[in-house]
A and B are shown apart, each in its own frame.
Chain A
Amino acid sequence: MMMTIAQRELKTLFLSPLAWSILAVLQFILAYLFLSQVETFNAFQARLAGIDNGPGLSDIVVTPLFGNAAIILLLVTPLLTMRLVSEERRNKTLSLLLSAPVNGGEIIAGKYLGILGLLLMIVALICLMPLSLLLGGELDLGKLFCNILALSLLLASFAAVGLYMSCIANHPTLAAVGSFGLLLLLWILDWTAGVNGQSSEVFAYLSILQHFQNLQSGLLASSDVLYFILFSATFITLSIRRLEYDRLQK
């Protein structure tokens, strides 16, 4: 049942022009940033050879590409997730779904997996760019793997937030604005720490950026990976509880 919902969700996404136009714009912007980064590397190439411990292709091209992708997807994910539940609610199809012999957990998991499928396709699309550089250079594959993992985990968290917001908002636009606001807040949470000089440990832990950048550096730490998993789990749990609450309302 869960997979059926996931499949249906993916199909709906690809049958709407929104997903396709988002993919087109995303691909264009990231390709442009990627190519300018490759240009930068080419310009510095001669000088890099002389620097001890200097950065390589992975540091100059791959890490910034995934960093840029993270910021752009922070804007885009809410647009993809906004309709997940709130549109069903608007179209009065949610009550139908709720009265079907599936529990809230299956509905949420299905919808979450559907959107995750699309997001992982986007990650795969982004991966093609650094991999194309293997035609003429060497990459730090360990670091590339960490970047891919970091972006995937990050998008999983984004999707969970988007899903929850879609559960509580009555209108898709509200869901998009809400999830964008929450994600941005979590993203910039550690900026305030930099201003005061000392950071609150809880804030530093909650900040998404820190964990993302730690993983990007190629250091696969269990605490950073678990952060993203727990983050996603929190919002999925909240979404399920919200749906169960809806069912009781009836």
Chain B
Amino acid sequence: MKINRHIHQTLRLKNLLTTALLLALLIVCAWLSRQYSAHIDLSADASNTLSQASVKVLNQLQQPVHIKAYIQEPTLRRQISRLLSRYQFLKDDIDVEFIDPTASPELARKHNIGPQGAVIVEYQDRSEKVTYLDEASLTNTLLQLASNQERWLTFLGGHGERSPSGQANFDLGLFGAALKKRGIHAQSINLAQLPSIPDNSSVLVLAGPAVALLPGELEVVSNYLDAGGNLLLMTDPDNLWLQVIERQLAIEKLPGKIVDTRSSLYGIDDPTFVLASEYPYHPVTQNFQNITVFPLTAALRFDGEDNEYQAEALLSSARASWTEIGEIAGKIRFDADGEEREGPLDFAFALTRQLTPDKQQRIIVIGDGDFLSNAYLNNVGNLELGLRMVNWLCENDRFIDIPSKATPGRSLQLSTLSIGIISFGFLLILPGVFLLAGLIIWRRRKKR
């Protein structure tokens, strides 16, 4: 066949069209491979797969989840998106937004995000801040957000108590706002106007009254406790107005205030600042690792004889602390002869009483009310500890334990001989052999 110009052009056009068609086909395949994808996790510890517990929690969530990650570092961002992709695979309406906290300081300040960053998880109209994101923390955060029950905290008012909506330094306004974000509402009541504690309330809060409660009011509180109501009692070293209730709970407040010589290590001049960094095993403090700061704290003692309550110490001061009775000025010293007690001293107790097999009364008594006040709330772990206490008291303490994964190959024991074979073999012998082969071939070629 003689190829003339016309046939030549037709052939070239045909070739071009075939190429375009094939490329289009490949693009369609790529798109399809994204739409319909399957995967198998081949790692021995299934580290790329969510545990059953997480899958169950995800199935409970009906609404979309928004995640805002205030993280700057690219590697951390990548780790977070890899973790989230496992969630997104099961629930496709989880969206993630990465925000650089240094580029938008007003947002970071609004959510109180430090230089290490944080992740804010939003579900419906509630949100929760997570500072360390892994499967356990994210799943538990989602679980907390999923429980859409409204909870009410009732603050007793009318005696100069710290108010959950007050803005003064000693008030609890910031804490009240933090609770609201988690679907827990704070209401103040005055027993002079309302004869009893409202039924809808999960927890009664007594936040350090400044004047004495009337006998009638004390009776209402006492009846409330007898009936099995939950209570958060925050007292202070010089507060005398709650003694009746403390006695009912078999809690004794030791005289004086705790002084902690350790506080100077953290750059705090005032020895009355008590630091807690180690916590006993309790649902409230499970997996809690932050330091908490307590200004002006009273030591407590639980006297459990012929009493129905089970008590567990939640917070204790360091060994190098004591209850100082004298004035805190100049050089203070432990006075063993007087009424002063040596550390470690407990200053918070969690009390429980089993009412029926599936109902438990829960009470927390703590020797300091300042740690949740507006002035101190944002110190290290104070807010989180407060929230954990409230969650426990609200019986909202379901915590899913994500089993840790066993990675194979945690140890390597090589004999000297195998070390020698491995290092010499790979580093010297193999490259040497290749080099020699190359040289021989080169020589042979030159000769030719």
The residues of A with any CB-CB pair to B shorter than 8 Å are: 15-17, 19-21, 23-25, 27-28, 31-32, 34-35, 38, 41-42, 45, 48-49, 52-59, 125, 128-129, 132-133, 135-143, 145-146, 194, 197-198, 205, 217-223, 226-227, 230, 233-234, 237-238, 241, 244-245, 248
B: contact size bracket: 35 or more
B434:A21 contact, CB within 8 angstroms: yes
B434:A139 contact, CB within 8 angstroms: no
Q: Could you tell me which residues of chain B, from 32 to 51, have a CB within 8 Å of some CB in chain A?
A: 33-34, 36-45, 47-48
Q: For the complex, what is the distance from the CA of A52 to the CA of B403, rounded to whole Å? A: 10
The prevalent SS among residues of A at the interface is helix
Known contacts A15-B441, A237-B23; is-contact A38 B430 (Cβ 8 Å): no
Across the interface, which residues of B come within 8 angstroms of A23, CB to CB? 434
A24:B438 contact, CB within 8 angstroms: yes
A38:B442 contact, CB within 8 angstroms: no
Nearest A-chain residue to B78, judged by Cβ: A194
Segment of B149-157, B331-339, B384-392, B415-423 in the binding face:
B415-423
B29:A230 contact, CB within 8 angstroms: yes
B413 within 8 A of A: yes
The prevalent SS among residues of B at the interface is helix
Known: A27-B426, A38-B412, A230-B29. 15 other contacts (CB 8 A): A15-B441, A17-B439, A34-B426, A54-B407, A129-B422, A135-B414, A140-B44, A142-B42, A194-B77, A205-B30, A219-B39, A220-B40, A230-B30, A237-B22, A241-B15
Closest 9 pairs (CB-CB, A-B): A218-B43, A20-B438, A57-B409, A142-B42, A56-B407, A31-B426, A24-B434, A136-B414, A221-B39
Q: For the complex, what is the distance from the CA of A210 to the CA of B392, rounded to whole Å? A: 42
Across the interface, which residues of B come within 8 angstroms of A237, CB to CB? 19, 22-23, 26
A28:B427 contact, CB within 8 angstroms: yes
Q: Which of A21, A52, A137 contacts B412 (CB 8 A)?
A: A137
Known contacts A53-B404, A248-B8; is-contact A136 B30 (Cβ 8 Å): no
B49 smallest CB distance to A (angstroms) = 8
B43:A142 contact, CB within 8 angstroms: yes
Q: For the complex, what is the distance from the CA of A223 to the CA of B100, rounded to whole Å? A: 30
B167 within 8 A of A: no
